[in-house]
A = this chain, B = another copy of it.
């Protein structure tokens, strides 16, 4: 299954939770852990990662906490996911080690990965954090021309 790691799921929940509140409001790791039913050490680690990726801003000290670095409409799922899972399509090619993968002089695996990464990244860049905070209102995704692709149609059949 193409699935995100648990930590990435948690990060999306955290980001959604923060995005639901006014932008100026600060959220402590402890509060978010309670609100999202997640263990505090995990939440703390995730917030740090999201901070380092520039998706959150932090304020230290007693009245500190985290808030979004940008508007929820300006943060794509691709950014959040790659903050947690690393850059798209960076699987180490097994042939880097010592082999020679010379199906027509270029590595077929890398070609495939390039194509697939582009497709996936393009799709995830079209969904914004704001689309997650009101799931019922997400009826379609926008392609790169800005055309609206209805959700039912984009989904295809359930597998």
Contacts and interface: CB of A to CB of B under 8 A. Distances in A.
A157 to B, nearest CB: 9
A6 B113 CA distance: 11
Task: Sort chain A's interface into a size bin.
Answer: 35 or more
Given A85-B2, A149-B145, A9 B113 contact: yes
A63 interface: no
A122 B2 contact: no
A90 B158 CA distance: 11
A143 interface: yes
A124 interface: yes
A113 B85 CA distance: 15
Given A101-B37, A115-B131, A122 B154 contact: yes
A13 interface: yes
Nearest to A114: B135
Contacts of A78: 156, 159
